[in-house]
Structures are given as C-alpha cells and as structure tokens.
Structure 1
C-alpha cells in the first residue's frame, strides 16, 4: 500500500466526503498540490443561539483550502490549510475568519513498525458560545501528537501507543471564558487481537490530564478510562468500531466531587448497496466544563444516510439526539438536530449543493433553550 494511502487509512488525513469533487493534483517541485474553493450563501435565523431577542442574517462564506503531499518509499508527509471567512450582512460584528493548518506524517521503519506524527494550529470564532454578551467567542489552539504502531497489518496481535499535547486559549474581551484556558496531556495505549477475517478485538487504556491556567481552578482534573471492544471491515457489508467501558474523572480540588460513569463510543457503517451507506455514531463520555459547570456528561446518538441517486446526484440526511448533564449545576440540556443536503456534480471539478440544518436545545435553564434554522446554497470547485 502506498504511504499516502496509509495517511488516509489511518484516519489522520483525508477529510473529503463521499461523492465529492475529484480535484486535480498539480506537481510542484515533486509535491502534489491540491487546491479547492467553496463559496456558500446561507441564511441563519438565530446565529447567536438565543431564547429571545434573536438575531438573523444572510451569510456569505468563502472556504479556500489546499494540501501539499510528498512521499517516498518509507515515508509520507502532508501539509493542509483551510480558511473560513464569514460575512454577516445584518451584523458586521459577527463577521469573522477562521484558520486551520495541519502537518501530518507517517514513517514506516519496517513491516512491523510505523510512526504517525501530527502538528496543528487553529484560530476560530463562534457566534453562539458567548450569546449572552452578543459577541463572537474567540479562541486559538495548538496540538502536537504522535502514535507508534507495532505489528504487521496481518499480525495476530498489534500494539499502539499514542501521546498528544493541546494548548487552548481564549481571546475574548473582558476575560470572557478565560476560565476555560487549559493545557491537556493525553496518553492512550491500544492492544488489538485478530479474531478471524477482518475482525479484531481491542483493549484500550486512556489517561488525560487537564491543567487550567486560572489560579485555583475547580476544573483541574485527571481522566482515566478502560475500554474493550472490536473493529471490523467489510464484514457483511458493515464496517465499524465499538468501544465500551468505564470512565473516572478525579478533580484536584477536594471540594469538587469526583465523577464516574459507563462510557462508550460506537461508529458503524452499513452499506446495503455500493451507492447507499447508513452510519450510526453513538457516544457517552465526560466533556470539559462549560458555563460554570465542573464537567458535562454527554450522551449522543446520530444516524446518517448517504445515498447516490445517479452518477451526478447524491444526498445526505442526518438525525441526532444528545443529552448534556452539567455536573455541579442544576442544568440538563436535551438537544435534537437534523440536516438534509442535495449535491449535484456539474463537472468533475465542480459541485453545487442545497441544504438545510435544524437544531433545538430544550434546557432546564429557560434562557439556554433555543431553536435554530440554517438554509444553505454552496458551490465547491477545484481544477
């Protein structure tokens, strides 16, 4: 297998959705250069996600992106970048530009040993997270990670050891959300065992340390999780990963109650036809605290259906349900979402899409409840 294929197969590379455009690769001094551009016009009837006095606007969005890929016999490298520039026609203060850059590599020492490295930087603004203040939530983050895999791809036993370091900082006025500034160190060890065919059992141990920059933060904590499950590919038209286990969150501050809960992560693809794929994603885990909470226990389920009606026309339909319990507060949120999009491939290098997104938050805190509708029309092109 070519190493650039390994970048994609190991889920650290390609973000191109199924049935998207097929960009042309340009040879730039031995590097594969792939540029794309998406132009989108949308209408958001509640872009601040408020329960009352909502704001709406037409939004013009430009998404230029590119990737540079290089490979030789034993290694592959990819640099990717995307900018997202949003112009809000009815609210100039909401207009913003996001940046997302990432450098990835895979080094194959021999048939048994591989090393994956990744470095990334993001600078983003969110119109909804600081809705009470009616200003964008601004933050930037940097992330470095590495994963060492031992075991041939056909070996009965395989072992992976991963480490990542993330730095998150908020850039809002008046120290808004400064209590969420943190450094995160995560360690993961995964052992898999072949059961036959393309099915493998797995056992995984995770450790995460959350260090907040705010002095005497209640949220400084350590997460531990032990998970067991399986992965399989192309088994009865099904591909998937299932992890089920238990998670503990221990806070440094003795005044904060430690937390524990069953944990699971499920990702299943079922393809009854080559042109039709159903996907089920489910998750239960502790997320870091928000809006003054110590942590958020999130349970979510999402069902997606991707269907290719003709060689040019495809659709994406999704439904999602999520429950968020804010630990340390009297707040529970029930979130429902849905989306539908139709994409027509005008040319190999040009797609046109029409879409709709819906989101509703039914919160026990009245001011946190809201409904949001977004209507979209977009053109995605390359060369």
Structure 2
C-alpha cells in the first residue's frame, strides 16, 4: 500500500484554445472568457494498493484532485480518478479479469467554444473470461459498459452510454508472442440528445479484428492489429462509416537506460467529452525515455495526426461536414527522484491544430512544475 500526495502548478497561454483573431469566435450568448491565459494549481491525494493472494491479484489506484484557476476561478472544481482491477484464476484452465475505471475532470477545452465550467464524469466497467486449452490456446469473451456525463446543461446533449461485447481465440508462444482473432460489438446512444430530438441518435458498431504481438528479444517487441469497422446510425440522416482500421507499434530498448515507443494508426475516433464529433484519425507518434542515472528520468513525445471529420450525429445538417484538421504536439519532461519518497518534475507541451475551419485552429504552450510525496 502506498499513499501519494502531489501538487502541480501549470501555466497555460491559451486555456480555451482560441485562434488568432479570437474576438470573432466569442459566442455573444456566452460572453468572452475572463482571461485567455491562466495559472492552474492541482493538489492531489491518492492511494495505490496491490494485494496478491495465491493466484489472485487485486490492484486499486485512487486519486482526489482539488483544481484551482487563478484568473478563471469559475472553473474551479474537485475531481479525481479511480482504477480498480482484479485478475483471478481458478484451477489451471480458467482465468479472467474484472475492472472499473472512473474519471472526473474539466472537459477538454479544445473541442468546442464554451467558456464555462463543464465537469465530465466518465466511467467504464466490465470483465473478461478466459479458458485455456492445449497449453498454447485460449478462448476469451468479455463485456463492458461506459457512461459519460456533462455537468453543463448546454453540453448534456453529449451525454453518452455504450455497451460492448467481445469474443475470440488467442494463441501464445513460449517466448510470449501471440496471435488473436476477435469480434467486437458495440451499442451506443446519446440519451439527452434523443430525448431532445424525440428520435434515436445512437449507433451499432462491429469490428472483426486480427491482432498480434511479436517478441523479437527482451528489448524489442512489435504489436499490430487490423480490423474492419462497420458503424450504422439509428438516424438515417447521420453519416454511417465502414472501412479498415489498424494500429502498429514497436517498443525498442537499444540500451539499458534508453527506450523508444513508436506507434502508427488509422482508426475512427472521438474525444471522450465530444463523442458525437467523430473522425477518421491517421497518425504517428514516438516517445523516447532516457534514464542517465537512477535518480533522473528524461522523457519526450511527438505526435502527429490528420483528422477527417465524418460528420456530427446530433445536429441536422452536420455543422462540421468536410472538416479536416491536422493536430500535432511535442512534450518534454524531466523527473528527479533524490529519495524513494519524493520526486520533482518539470514539463513543457506545445500544441498546434490547423483546420479548414478557421475557428478550429489554434496554438498553445503549457509548462508545469510538480512535487510528489510517496509513503
């Protein structure tokens, strides 16, 4: 069991992700924000638990945040997260997992022009059952449910609910490589939007997928998945989607204290606080980590993604049909751990979005400092 206390101070030069000529994007019904720049203090207290009992493993990671904005104090809120996991095994053939995740935080301010508090609560919970056979094979099946709720009345049309079922078969080699075929089905709905429109606004989605993991060596691992996604909306006026989706990744550790994670993808995505605004994302990322000493860790990440917005399911006509964005960011950080119970960190992040919708483009710089105590 470990208790964690931390405090992070962040400076953001474009809190609401506004483009140049920002006066033109203010909604007169909402009014402009108090300040585009802000300084945010996040004080957190958490608990991390791991219990091992024979073949059973229980893990819990819980955190409470008190978030305060210096210039836009109407955004102040209490948030947090919880991640609970139970890996179980019975006899030699049956195993499974039960999990629950919860997050409460301010909505991502880059996704819409809204200058008021909107605290989003997102929860996911479910489980998986696995049956092993012939030493290398296993059959698995699982189910999960997700729920997203917005506190701001004007954003509650984005409230989202979904249920997902999956099943498949997997083969694992003695070296840890694996190959699996699975089929995933999802039913989703937007209950507030459906009540407002008096008509369905949900969708059904299926994805047959092949995924693999190849362990070349202790220091090099490759992952890949390839599927065909078919999404059908209840509303005939909404834009259905079908097409291939894939991801490839690589973990490489050329030296003991230096590692790289690389990933490329092509998939249908949406931000958790704007589930109806879905897009085809195609991008790449690279994330190196270097530990020159046992006390110092340097990390960085670069990500680039082209986003082709297929449509908006909640409005007729879709307000963003034909929208295309290019989103990229660079982040870098350093963490110093002079003792086991304390660490100090500095971080910087640069965000940039170019869009064929002028009011969607923006640039942003964010820097932060953090202290964390563990006991």
What CA distance in whole angstroms lies between the structure 2 residues aligned with 1:323 and 1:167? 27
Equivalent position of 2:29 in the other structure: none
Q: Is the 8 A contact 2:65 2:79 kept in 1?
A: yes
Q: Select the residue among 159, 163, 172 that pairs with 2:143.
A: 163
Is residue 2:226 matched to residue 1:248?
Answer: no
1:71 Cα shift?
3.2
Q: Select the residue among 24, 36, 48 that pairs with 2:4.
A: 36
Is residue 2:96 matched to residue 1:115?
Answer: yes
Greater CA deviation, 42-51 or 285-294? 285-294
Is residue 2:173 matched to residue 1:205?
Answer: no
What CA distance in whole angstroms lies between the structure 2 residues aligned with 1:366 and 1:303? 28
Question: What aligned pairs does 1:1-383 form with structure 2 within 5 A after superposition?
Answer: 33-51=1-19, 52=22, 55-126=36-107, 128-129=109-110, 132-151=113-132, 155-172=135-152, 175-194=153-172, 197-213=175-191, 214-215=193-194, 216=198, 219-233=201-215, 235=217, 237-288=219-270, 295-328=278-311, 329-383=321-375
Secondary structure of the structure 1 residue equivalent to 2:237: coil
What CA distance in whole angstroms lies between the structure 1 residues aligned with 2:270 and 2:293? 43
1:307-346 per-residue CA deviation (whole Å, 9 max, x = no partner) reads 1112222200110011222113121111010001111111
Decide whether aligned partners of structure 1 residues 292 and 330 sit closer, same or farther in structure 2, where only a CA change above 3 A counts. farther
Secondary structure of the structure 2 residue equivalent to 1:133: coil
TM-score, normalization by structure 1: 0.84
Report the aligned-residue RMSD: 2.3
1:159 Cα shift?
2.1
Secondary structure of the structure 1 residue equivalent to 2:16: coil
What CA distance in whole angstroms lies between the structure 1 residues aligned with 2:359 and 2:242? 29
What CA distance in whole angstroms lies between the structure 2 residues aligned with 1:373 and 1:117? 39
Secondary structure of the structure 2 residue equivalent to 1:330: coil
Secondary structure of the structure 1 residue equivalent to 2:54: coil
1:179-221 per-residue CA deviation (whole Å, 9 max, x = no partner) reads 2212101112232224563322221211111122022566411
Decide whether aligned partners of structure 1 residues 143 and 292 sit closer, same or farther in structure 2, where only a CA change above 3 A counts. closer
Greater CA deviation, 95-104 or 246-255? 95-104
1:293 Cα shift?
5.8
Decide whether aligned partners of structure 1 residues 102 and 314 sit closer, same or farther in structure 2, where only a CA change above 3 A counts. closer
What CA distance in whole angstroms lies between the structure 2 residues aligned with 1:361 and 1:255? 29
1:291 Cα shift?
6.7
Decide whether aligned partners of structure 1 residues 256 and 41 sit closer, same or farther in structure 2, where only a CA change above 3 A counts. closer
Secondary structure of the structure 1 residue equivalent to 2:113: helix
Equivalent position of 1:29 in the other structure: none
Structure 2: give runs of 5+ residues left out of the alignment.
24-34, 312-320
Decide whether aligned partners of structure 1 residues 60 and 295 sit closer, same or farther in structure 2, where only a CA change above 3 A counts. closer
Structure 1: give runs of 5+ residues left out of the alignment.
1-32
What CA distance in whole angstroms lies between the structure 1 residues aligned with 2:66 and 2:248? 33
1:86 Cα shift?
2.1
Decide whether aligned partners of structure 1 residues 164 and 291 sit closer, same or farther in structure 2, where only a CA change above 3 A counts. closer
What CA distance in whole angstroms lies between the structure 2 residues aligned with 1:137 and 1:129? 13
Q: Is the 8 A contact 2:268 2:279 kept in 1?
A: yes
Structure 1 runs, 4 residues or longer, greater than 6 Å off? 289-292
Q: Is the 8 A contact 1:218 1:294 kept in 2?
A: no
TM-score, normalization by structure 2: 0.86
1:47-70 per-residue CA deviation (whole Å, 9 max, x = no partner) reads 111112571112222122112333
Q: How many residues align?
A: 348
1:282 Cα shift?
2.6
